[in-house]
Amino acid sequence: MVERLYRKVPGMALDFVSGELVENASERAMGYRVVFNLRMDFLNFKVMAGQYIPGYLDAPLNAIRPEFDGLAYHHAYNYFFDWAGRIRDNAALFRVFSDEDYYSAAWSSGGLEQRYDKPELKMTGDTLQITAGKYFRHEDGRPVQVGELPVARFQAALNLMHSDVLSGDTAPYTVVVLGYAEEDMVDVEGVPMNRGMRYMKTHQLTLGPIAPERILTAG
């Protein structure tokens, strides 16, 4: 497996706003709903993107894929197409990947199954507010206990992809992934994550509101 290149963007941050641990009786599931604000210095992003893919924001066949582990699952990628050459701020960039049709809400299969809600992505000023949910259930229908829930890491990164041709046989390829966390890795209860990444020990929560001090920083 080829190791991907990851770089931290100065001025990019993920801030916790609110959350709650909930039961979903209709699906015999338990999970969390959270709201985070994603802040990013657009100039820093543009400069870094251009260092790895010259003219990145100006080429219609270049693409982007948000990586929101713990928050949402984007199942494909988005070409810039008509947005190329017109992306001059965070709002325009984030709009490229905000269509909920690109996000999955399907259950995984086997063991402790999981699924995401389709996220609500909304601009508030220059900040992307992410309203998200993730749920867990047992394959055999047994009720899920809080102590069984895994550590949740909250990733917010942008996978920058390059392509020269539009073809069903040739997908754009990843050149670099840019995010808010540091570039070195740490281990949190057996879960690898970038230092500085926000995370939550879900198995230590109780049903109801999630207090801000429950959102930790790796490292």
- pLDDT value of position 166: 77
pLDDT tens-place string over residues 90-112: 999 999 999 999 999 999 999 99
Q: At a CB cut-off of 8 Å and minimum separation 6, what does 47 contact?
A: none
pLDDT tens-place string over residues 56-65: 999 999 999 9
- pLDDT value of position 192: 97
Dihedral sign (CA 114, 193, 173, 176): positive
Please list the ranges in the chain whose pLDDT falls under 70: 1-2, 167-168
Are 195 and 184 within 8 A, CB to CB? yes
